[in-house]
Amino acid sequence: MALKYTNKINKIRTFALSLVFIGILIMYLGLIFKSTPVVMTILMMVGFLAIIASTLVYFWIGMLSTKTIQVVCPSCEKPTKVLGRVDACMHCNQPLTMDKELEGKEFNEDYNKKSTQS
């Protein structure tokens, strides 16, 4: 069983993009309920909030990007961004680590959580 790791920045970006689509979809659903203004208003509000949330997530990515370390992936030799102690390459999903202690160890996303807790 091969576990698939994806780059965090890419993951968040995908999430933000799907939020936009969900927001548009909810607002579109609101148009179906034109005859019931209350439902339409609620759906429009929720959809609008989803789009606002995605904007905030995009802003958050921008903030996170300043904290990432640019490295050249040893596997595909493309420049990639590493966020946290362990992350995957943006292009080939090769697990990468910033911590010498973790080098050679099996890739585990939990290393990031532990580092924030202690």
> Which residues bind to Zn ion, rule: CB under 5 A?
73, 75-76, 89, 91-92, 94
Task: Work out how close the CB of 39 gets to Zn ion at its nearest, in angstroms, rounded to a whole number.
Answer: 47
Closer to Zn ion by Cβ: residue 17 or 76: 76
Task: Work out how close the CB of 65 gets to Zn ion at its nearest, in angstroms, rounded to a whole number.
Answer: 18
Closer to Zn ion by Cβ: residue 44 or 90: 90
Please state at what angle helix 8-32 crosses helix 37-65, rounded to 10 degrees: 170
For residues 59-90, one letter each, b for 16 or more C-beta atoms within 10 angstroms of the residue's C-beta and e for the rest, the string is: eebeeeeeebeeeebeeeeeebbbbbbbbbbb
Closer to Zn ion by Cβ: residue 78 or 105: 78
Closer to Zn ion by Cβ: residue 75 or 112: 75
Compute the distance between CA of residue 87 and CA of residue 93 in angstroms, rounded to an integer. Answer: 9
Q: What six digits make up the tokens of 51? A: 């789009």
Q: Beta-carbon neighbour count of residue 43 at 10 Å?
A: 20
Task: Work out how close the CB of 1 gets to Zn ion at its nearest, in angstroms, rounded to a whole number.
Answer: 21
Task: Work out how close the CB of 110 gets to Zn ion at its nearest, in angstroms, rounded to a whole number.
Answer: 22
